[in-house]
């Protein structure tokens, strides 16, 4: 048992104290019992063990993502969305995942920073609330170079993670950091290239290519899942008998894409390849019963996938006191 008796005592004192206060309020002044509304969300972090590793999911925030951005039939998408009680308009979460292997502290993706509005950008704050100092991050593993994944790395030209090395697939670096590719890109897409260059710039001397065979360290390896971007990458963490695939953007909308994995998303660079990567990832995690960590799965973005005929079902992870 890792329970700290001091916490138990504090908790008991809080419960008893709260009870006494409420009782006093009821007796003397009913107004005392009125609790002001918090009007702000609670901190967004969730912790679990993976073998000997410790995983902390941190929430960046939420953002609208209209159904029309997906390739499915409009009425069928609407039906699946309603069936899952998705908010209307549909919103998705952005998550990042810190993994402490005992040797190194990794952060997979960094959220949006200030790039995509005030409903997002909470990764650094939630890391700190979870007891993780951003200076303690040894390496950032990027799933791909889209702004909702690299945006939290850099603030006003300065690195947020001062001691971190950056791993990113060479194919993505060659694409999103290339002035030549950016020149040929449609005008609407040009800002994405500029944002990627600005985010990576302060880390230029600490940029690491992914190893050819994928192994970054013992129990930490990269798995190519191209399609959403040319170098879109998942990261597999393995400790003891447990494994977790951090699969980046294999799923953008859980209500739609587990049921219809063939439905693609407007930001996929190669839609056909993205759908193939999704089916491959689903089969892998369903067959081997791997824990999945998804950047756009409903927060905390951790769960399991069950194969159900030609479709799949998602089961959210279970919060536990056991760490």
| Site residues, Zn ion (CB under 5 A) | 148, 249
Instruction: State the Cα–Cα distance between residues 39 and 41, nearest whole angstrom.
Output: 7
Least distance from C-beta 95 to Zn ion, angstroms? Answer: 10
Least distance from C-beta 204 to Zn ion, angstroms? Answer: 23
Q: Measured from the CB atom, is 53 or 123 closer to Zn ion?
A: 123
Q: Measured from the CB atom, is 274 or 305 closer to Zn ion?
A: 274
Q: Measured from the CB atom, is 81 or 110 closer to Zn ion?
A: 110
Least distance from C-beta 122 to Zn ion, angstroms? Answer: 15
Least distance from C-beta 137 to Zn ion, angstroms? Answer: 20
Q: Measured from the CB atom, is 219 or 303 closer to Zn ion?
A: 303
Least distance from C-beta 250 to Zn ion, angstroms? Answer: 10
Q: Measured from the CB atom, is 8 or 114 closer to Zn ion?
A: 114
Least distance from C-beta 50 to Zn ion, angstroms? Answer: 22
Q: Using CB atoms within 10 A of its CB, is residue 322 exposed (0-12), middle (13-18) or buried (19+)?
A: exposed
Q: Measured from the CB atom, is 249 or 317 closer to Zn ion?
A: 249
């Amino acid at each position: 048992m890792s329970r700290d008796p001091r916490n138990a005592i504090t908790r008991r004192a809080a419960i008893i104290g709260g009870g006494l206060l409420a009782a006093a309020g009821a007796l003397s002044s009913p107004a005392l019992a009125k609790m002001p509304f918090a009007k702000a969300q609670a901190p967004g972090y969730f912790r679990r063990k993976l073998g000997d590793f410790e995983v902390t999911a941190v929430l960046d925030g939420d953002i609208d993502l209209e159904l029309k951005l997906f390739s499915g039939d409009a009425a069928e998408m609407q039906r699946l969305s309603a069936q899952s009680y998705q908010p209307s308009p549909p919103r998705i979460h952005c998550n990042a995942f810190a993994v402490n292997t005992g040797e190194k502290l990794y952060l997979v993706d960094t959220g949006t920073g200030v790039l995509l509005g005030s409903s997002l950008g909470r990764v650094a704050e939630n890391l700190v609330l979870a007891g993780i100092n951003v200076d303690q991050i040894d390496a950032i593993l990027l799933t791909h170079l889209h702004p909702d994944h690299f945006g939290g790395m850099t603030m006003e030209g300065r690195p947020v993670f001062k001691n971190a090395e950056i791993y990113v697939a060479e194919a993505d670096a060659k694409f999103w950091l290339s002035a030549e590719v950016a020149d040929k890109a449609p005008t609407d897409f040009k800002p994405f290239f500029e944002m990627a260059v600005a985010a990576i710039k302060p880390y230029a001397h600490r940029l690491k290519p992914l190893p050819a065979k994928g192994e970054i360290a013992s129990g930490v390896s990269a798995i190519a899942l191209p399609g959403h971007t040319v170098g879109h990458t998942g990261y597999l963490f393995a400790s003891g008998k447990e494994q977790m695939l951090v699969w980046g953007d294999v799923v953008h909308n859980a209500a739609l894409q587990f049921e219809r994995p063939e439905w693609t998303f407007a930001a996929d660079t190669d839609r056909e390849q993205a759908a193939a990567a999704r089916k491959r990832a689903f089969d892998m995690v369903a067959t081997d019963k791997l824990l999945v960590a998804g950047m756009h799965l409903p927060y905390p973005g951790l769960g399991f996938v069950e194969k159900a005929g030609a479709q799949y079902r998602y089961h959210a992870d279970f919060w536990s006191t056991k760490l």
